[in-house]
């Protein structure tokens, strides 16, 4: 009987789905060690180029909520939704809802929130659906001078992977009533590091003098920064947070785009899209930071609203394949993703929008439930290790 | 072109290289095909080694070497076919996948392990890659016991340790193929 050396076994293991790897930890101590080795986990992530969407069933009163995984084939075709094990909050007595903030390297950042009845409480978790474990991010109260607790008006979150520090990060932007003045609103920005298990205050201030709302339903990452649409008295602008310098900046938009609702990334460039009943228009900022370089790149004729566009490419192929998430009619419970089979020739290789950062505006305290939110993210299964004890 | 893989005589007239398997059998192979085997390529990259030298491949059986040569020959042909034309590329990719599937389909578990060891020793990246994927496919839904037999591994866990791990991840044991 032939025996294969460990490095060849590792190569074979790196082709396996995560569930098999979890089971094969029982094979032997050498395999247990191999499967949990960080270098192997990285290798596995790179070998398994399975792209997926992870989504939560909307408009459902069932609890715990139902999560589904949809695989995307190499030909950009969507598979059937497969039900997966949901992230479970610690206390089973408290009913909570979840929302997807974003996903990187197989880790999904989840927002747990309990409505008014249970105290308008929220918590953040970093979840690996493939190994069915999640790690709770410690709750960090807003750092207010009076230490009496504040009334939170909005909460915006983003999740990303920092390759320089090999660390996962969560950004939190909180707007709250100034306790000293009932009319004023203050902001606080903090960043959580999974490695350090702690939050850190961001010194830079949000650059708006007048009242503003972060209005996009997700942040997007490109050019080393996170971006959101912001609406203020002067109209619509783009807020950017540079992840290296940790500074905020504002970019102006041509007037045409002031009604646009969503951002995404194509070819490494920031794009905005808006949809009407007839079509979805996509505009691209061809030169980063140059307002005049915004130009229309696509018009995708559609017969129904696309609630969210995720653009993917096939490696090496110079084509844009747009996947739209159809807005389900009121009677449908599950929003079935459908592939919009429009292919347009674009030059250059398109980045896979897989590590998206999502924003969930928390409701005005009182309604107890977010009125919009992200329940779908691009996803890639992995064995990414959650440092420390899981759930 | 002879297809049985056993000592084909190429009448192409190009340069050939002689490869010797572990039992002494000599395979005469077109240079382009021989260079797919990085080990062979490195052998000739050394200064002063003439192309007439017979390359001794001590760790490869003649059965395995014959299959490797046959695969590499077809792979080189397919690569020559693909170019800038997307249609041709697509077709070449499909044919290559067909070739890979054909190679593993009839192979026993021992046979496939032998090919993996050969592809590793001869340093043929693409071949090793798809062979590993093929084995992955074979074992992914199998039980822990099956995998131990396949890879000839001892269970060095204590019964308590094994029980504990199995209970922690019981969900991963659902739907496993019967042995």
Lowest-confidence pick of A91-95, A155-159, A355-359, A368-372: A355-359
Report angle CA A39, A41, A44 to the nearest 5 degrees: 110
B74 SS3 class: helix
- Number of continuous H segments (helices) and E segments (strands) in chain B: 8, 3
Report angle CA B139, B142, B143 to the nearest 5 degrees: 135
Pick from A260, A242, A259, A240: nearest CA to A250: A240
- For residue A382, is pLDDT > 70? no
Q: For residue A305, which phi and psi values (nearest 5 degrees)?
A: -65, 135
Q: What is the mean pLDDT of residues A376-391?
A: 46
Across A68-77, A326-335, A351-360, which has the greatest mean pLDDT?
Answer: A68-77
Count Cβ atoms below 10 Å from residue A363 Cβ, excluding itself. 20
Q: What is the mean pLDDT of residues A260-276?
A: 74
- The tens digit of pLDDT for each residue in B32-50 reads 999 999 999 998 887 778 8
Measured between beta carbons, the chain B residues lying within 8 angstroms of A25 are 165, 169
Confidence of residue A79 (pLDDT cuts 50, 70, 90): low
pLDDT of residue A325: 46
Pick from A222, A220, A229, A216: nearest CA to A361: A216
Cβ pair A4, B116 in contact under 8 A: yes
- For residue B115, is pLDDT > 60? yes
Å between B165 CA and nearest CA of chain A: 7
- For residue A272, is pLDDT > 60? yes
With CB atoms and an 8 Å threshold, state whether B172 touches A2.
no
Pick from B68, B177, B40: nearest CA to B131: B68
What percent of chain A has pLDDT above 90?
A: 15
Please name the residues in contact with B132: beta carbons below 8 A apart, sequence gap of 6 or more.
A8, A11, A12, A14, A15, B116
What percent of chain B has pLDDT above 70?
A: 91
Q: What is the mean pLDDT of residues A346-365?
A: 20
- The verdict on B89 touching A (C-beta cutoff 8 Å) is no
Where does residue A379 rank: exposed (0-12), middle (13-18), buried (19+ CB within 10 A)?
buried
> Which of B86, B116, B172 is nearest residue A19 as measured by Cβ atoms?
B172
Nearest CA in chain B to A28: B155
pLDDT of residue A316: 36
Mean pLDDT score of chain B: 87
pLDDT of residue A275: 59
pLDDT of residue A296: 81
pLDDT of residue A249: 93
With CB atoms and an 8 Å threshold, state whether A26 touches B120.
no
Q: What is the mean pLDDT of residues B55-72?
A: 94
Pick from A166, A157, A172, A224: nearest CA to A195: A166
Nearest CA in chain B to A11: B132
Longest dimension (CA), chain A: 79
- The tens digit of pLDDT for each residue in A327-350 reads 333 333 333 333 333 332 221 111
Confidence of residue B4 (pLDDT cuts 50, 70, 90): very low
- For residue A144, is pLDDT > 50? yes
- The tens digit of pLDDT for each residue in A15-30 reads 998 889 999 999 999 9
Cβ pair A165, A154 in contact under 8 A: no
Lowest-confidence pick of A147-156, A290-299, A313-322: A313-322
Interface test with B, best of A26, A29, A389 (most B CBs within 10 A): A26
- For residue B144, is pLDDT > 90? yes
What percent of chain B has pLDDT above 90?
A: 60
List B residues 115-174 in contact with A (Cβ-Cβ < 8 A): 116-117, 120, 128-129, 132-133, 135-137, 139-141, 144, 147-148, 151-157, 162, 165-166, 169, 171-173
With CB atoms and an 8 Å threshold, state whether B157 touches A29.
yes
Å between B62 CA and nearest CA of chain A: 16
CA distance A95 to A64: 8
Q: What is the mean pLDDT of residues A108-126?
A: 75
Å between B127 CA and nearest CA of chain A: 13
Confidence of residue A373 (pLDDT cuts 50, 70, 90): very low
With CB atoms and an 8 Å threshold, state whether B147 touches A19.
no
Which ranges of chain A does DSSP label H, i.e. alpha helix? 6-13, 18-24, 29-35, 38-47
Count Cβ atoms below 10 Å from residue A358 Cβ, excluding itself. 26
Interface test with A, best of B82, B162, B169 (most A CBs within 10 A): B169
- For residue B21, is pLDDT > 90? yes
- The verdict on B176 touching A (C-beta cutoff 8 Å) is yes
pLDDT of residue A389: 26
Mean pLDDT score of chain A: 70
Q: What is the mean pLDDT of residues A157-163?
A: 85
pLDDT of residue A193: 92
């Amino acid at each position: 009987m032939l025996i294969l050396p460990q490095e060849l076994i590792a190569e074979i293991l790196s082709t396996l789905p995560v569930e098999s790897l979890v089971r094969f930890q029982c094979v032997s101590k050498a395999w247990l060690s191999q499967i949990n080795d960080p270098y192997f986990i990285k290798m596995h992530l790179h070998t398994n180029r399975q792209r997926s969407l992870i989504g939560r069933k909307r408009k459902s009163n069932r609890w715990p909520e139902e999560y589904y995984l949809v695989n995307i084939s190499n030909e950009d075709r969507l598979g059937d939704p497969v039900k997966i094990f949901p992230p479970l909050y610690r206390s089973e007595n408290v009913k909570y809802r979840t929302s997807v903030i974003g996903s990187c390297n197989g880790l999904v950042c989840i927002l747990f929130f309990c409505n008014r009845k249970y105290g308008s409480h929220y918590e953040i978790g970093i979840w690996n659906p493939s190994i069915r474990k999640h790690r709770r991010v410690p709750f960090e109260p807003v750092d207010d001078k009076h230490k009496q607790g504040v009334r939170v008006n909005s909460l915006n979150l983003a999740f990303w992977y920092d390759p320089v520090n090999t660390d996962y990060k969560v950004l939190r932007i909180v707007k709250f009533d100034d306790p000293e003045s009932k009319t004023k609103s203050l902001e606080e920005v903090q960043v959580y590091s999974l490695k350090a298990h702690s939050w850190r205050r961001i010194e830079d201030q949000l650059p708006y003098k007048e009242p503003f709302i972060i209005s996009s339903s997700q942040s997007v990452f490109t050019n080393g920064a996170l971006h959101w649409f912001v609406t203020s008295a002067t109209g619509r602008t783009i807020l950017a947070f540079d992840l290296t310098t940790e500074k905020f900046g504002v970019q102006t938009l041509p007037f045409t785009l002031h009604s646009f609702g969503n951002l995404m990334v194509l070819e490494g460039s920031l794009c905005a899209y808006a949809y009407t009943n007839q079509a979805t228009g996509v505009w691209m900022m061809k030169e980063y930071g140059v307002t005049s370089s915004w130009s229309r790149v696509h018009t995708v004729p559609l017969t129904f609203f696309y609630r969210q566009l995720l653009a993917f490419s096939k490696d090496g192929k110079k084509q844009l394949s747009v996947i739209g998430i159809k807005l389900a009619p009121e009677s449908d419970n599950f929003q079935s993703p459908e592939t919009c089979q429009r292919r347009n020739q674009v030059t250059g290789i398109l980045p896979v929008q897989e590590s998206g950062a999502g924003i969930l505006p928390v409701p005005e305290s009182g309604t107890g439930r977010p009125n919009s939110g992200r329940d779908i993210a691009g996803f890639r299964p992995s064995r990414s290790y959650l440092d420390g004890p899981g759930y | 072109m002879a297809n049985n893989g056993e000592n084909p005589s190429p009448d192409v007239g190009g340069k050939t290289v002689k490869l010797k398997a572990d039992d002494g059998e000599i395979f005469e192979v077109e240079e382009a095909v021989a260079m797919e085997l990085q080990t062979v390529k490195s052998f000739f990259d050394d200064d002063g080694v003439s192309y007439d030298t017979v390359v001794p491949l001590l760790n490869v059986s003649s059965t395995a070497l014959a299959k490797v040569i046959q695969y590499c020959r077809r792979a080189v042909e397919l690569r020559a076919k693909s170019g800038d034309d997307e249609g041709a590329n697509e077709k070449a990719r499909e044919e290559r996948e067909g070739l890979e599937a054909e190679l593993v389909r009839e192979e026993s578990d021992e046979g496939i392990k032998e090919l993996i060891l050969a592809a590793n020793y001869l340093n043929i990246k693409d071949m090793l890659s798809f062979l590993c994927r093929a084995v992955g496919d074979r074992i992914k839904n199998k039980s822990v016991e099956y995998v131990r037999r396949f890879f000839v591994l001892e269970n060095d866990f204590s019964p308590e340790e094994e029980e504990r791990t199995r209970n922690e991840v019981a969900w991963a044991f659902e739907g496993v193929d019967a042995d």
